[in-house]
Amino acid sequence: RGDQEKEQGTARGLRIHDYLYFQVLSPGDIRYIFTATPAKDFGGIFHTRYEQIHLVPAEPLEACGELSNGFFIQDQIALVERGGCSFLSKTRVVQEHGGRAVIISDNAVDNDSFYVEMIQDSTQRTADIPALFLLGRDGYMIRRSLEQHGLPWAIISIPVNVTSIPTFELLQPPWTFW
């Protein structure tokens, strides 16, 4: 099984080292470029760039079943938290609610450096929308800012091509250490 996984990984170009970037446009106090990693062996890719799309924290945040704010996730991107069910299950829940993509933040809010490799569960199910992993600290800071401002969602631009931004480093969250 280990060899099979390794071969599959090579065939897909070992996407784990690929980073995908998004920028929060609003609220302004977290107007930073965030770094996420795509799921390794499930989910789709971004075929288009969304200049302005809502990033909506799911309710409940773990998104393991019916969402009470699913209406607001339709045609937008959901922010969910790790835990309670598989990464794939969360992605499917968001997809079933019409979400364009899902960003899954670690449930360890002090995690500011370790990217978890999101892989398939054992159910043979699939998902079509992009699924991205976000550091726990980043997810927490985005949610905290929304709560402080009483906002139901952030506005983001995704994906962002950071090679075209000479000041990319200056736009990263101040709590990110390299």
Q: Give me the residues paired with residue 131 across strands.
A: 102
Task: Give the architecture-level CATH label for domain 20-161.
Answer: 3-Layer(bba) Sandwich (3.50)
Which of 48-52, 104-108, 117-121, 173-177 bottoms out in mean pLDDT, i.e. has the lowest? 173-177
Q: Which residues contact 9 (CB under 8 A, 6 or more apart)?
A: 16, 40, 41
pLDDT in tens, 64-78: 999 999 999 999 999
The two tokens of residue 118 are 């999101």
Mean pLDDT of all residues belonging to the chain: 89
Q: What is the pLDDT of residue 142?
A: 98
pLDDT in tens, 11-38: 334 444 589 999 999 999 999 999 999 9
The two tokens of residue 69 are 């704010």
Which of 59-63, 94-98, 165-169 bottoms out in mean pLDDT, i.e. has the lowest? 165-169
CA dist 131 → 80, 115, 141, 165 (Å): 10, 13, 20, 24
Residue-range domain boundaries for the chain: 20-161
Q: What is the pLDDT of residue 103?
A: 98
Alpha-carbon distance of 177 to 112, in angstroms, equals 8
Say whether pLDDT at 7 is over 50: no
3-state secondary structure labels for all residues of 24-48: EEECHHHCCEEEEEECCCCCCCCCC
CA nearest neighbour of 87 among 104, 74, 65 = 104
Say whether pLDDT at 54 is over 60: yes
pTM over 0.95? The answer is: no
